[in-house]
Structure 1
């Protein structure tokens, strides 16, 4: 379905929802995260089809080396009228994947937004700058195992494979939030036109629900669906991973 200008303006509003989504942003008790094994990190590119209230766009997630034993995990969604991007630089430390810095930007018609986050583990605090509200600038106290919304995507796949509880403390956008995912059985989904068996994971937070489908051997969820008030809001589906 082609995107109208009215639809494009709605992208401002879902930016906060995308934070929660790319969260599939998720991990629960600090002990649960701490006990998860540090699986090997390997670079990849995943192409997604994105949908929001009838708008269609292309999305891509990538994981690439960032130097000094660090990695950059990025998400980009764009079409002719708008673009959204997020990236997180992280490192492995004592079995944890911990964020070092992140960027979040959007360009919708004539409105732009840029936010940056710094996770200072030597001081034990996270802070935000750029287009942020004063009450969301921090600092926010960090705990071992804390992750940002985007990084939880990787943790879901890692922890499900390891048989660990899918409970996460998310420190993102100037706030702390607990994300708890439950396994809701197996389902067949389509990935690039092929049927794959996936494990369905569900996180419920009031009137909001995030559902992720994880396929064995795929480094990120094959599909991420966010629902609000019982209706689909945002849907990301993998087309290919390479």
Structure 2
């Protein structure tokens, strides 16, 4: 599922903007943002919008991508708990040509399980046991930016799409990239899973990746690059 691929990179998915924005070195430094990105989805040019907003004690993290081929929307609601980010609910909606898919996730920390509903297969509905520190795919984006800035290991347990999966990213060096029209030094991290590869560029001072590239069988599938932020 293309929308699921985006969540696992990022989700996907959250990339932000200017070097004046403070880094997510710790969970309490979360700051709301709105960001615009150029998007290339399956060879089609489009646009992406990322937003992090706070309502009371909860945060809402949103990614929307639109091109002539597809419209994708992913939302994660989460909270800070004991210095950790805990997903509470999520939605994943996609429309690719004439095919529409809608999924919803619930993370019940009281019962210690996650479940999924909507257009999901029976073996992907859960329940899946939750453990302290678990993230969904969208929150992995924020965690990578936070942990690169803090020099921490990039190891995560992702509970998403009806399963739990250990994920390890490795640092692949430094590169100069263009962020909001300016050249910036970025730390490049990567992860390979079979024939799929995720590349993430982290710029110091940005609270989320400046670029995320997903590849399959050596071909680019999804490429999001920061354009502007406010």
TM-score if structure 2 supplies the norm length? 0.90
Correspondence 1:27-106 to 2 at 5 A: 37-67=26-56, 69-106=57-94
User: In 1, distance between residues paired with 2:145 and 2:41?
Assistant: 24
Alignment pair present for 1:184 and 2:172: yes
Counterpart of 2:101 in structure 1 is 113
Question: Which residues of structure 2 form unaligned runs of 5+?
Answer: 14-24
User: In 2, distance between residues paired with 1:52 and 1:206?
Assistant: 21
Moved over 6 A (4+): none
Alignment CA distance shift 1:37-1:82 (3 Å): closer
Counterpart of 1:216 in structure 2 is 204
TM-score if structure 1 supplies the norm length? 0.86
Counterpart of 1:18 in structure 2 is 6
- Coordinate RMSD, CA, aligned: 1.6
Contact 2:106 2:115 in 1 (8 A): yes
User: In 2, distance between residues paired with 1:229 and 1:80?
Assistant: 23
Alignment CA distance shift 1:24-1:165 (3 Å): farther
Structure 1 residue 176 displacement after superposition: 1.0
User: In 1, distance between residues paired with 2:140 and 2:37?
Assistant: 17
User: In 1, distance between residues paired with 2:92 and 2:59?
Assistant: 17
Counterpart of 1:163 in structure 2 is 151
Contact 1:24 1:211 in 2 (8 A): no
Contact 2:44 2:67 in 1 (8 A): no
Structure 1 residue 42 displacement after superposition: 0.7
Structure 1 residue 23 displacement after superposition: 4.4
Q: How many equivalent pairs are there?
A: 219
User: In 1, distance between residues paired with 2:176 and 2:130?
Assistant: 38
Alignment CA distance shift 1:101-1:139 (3 Å): same
Alignment pair present for 1:241 and 2:229: yes
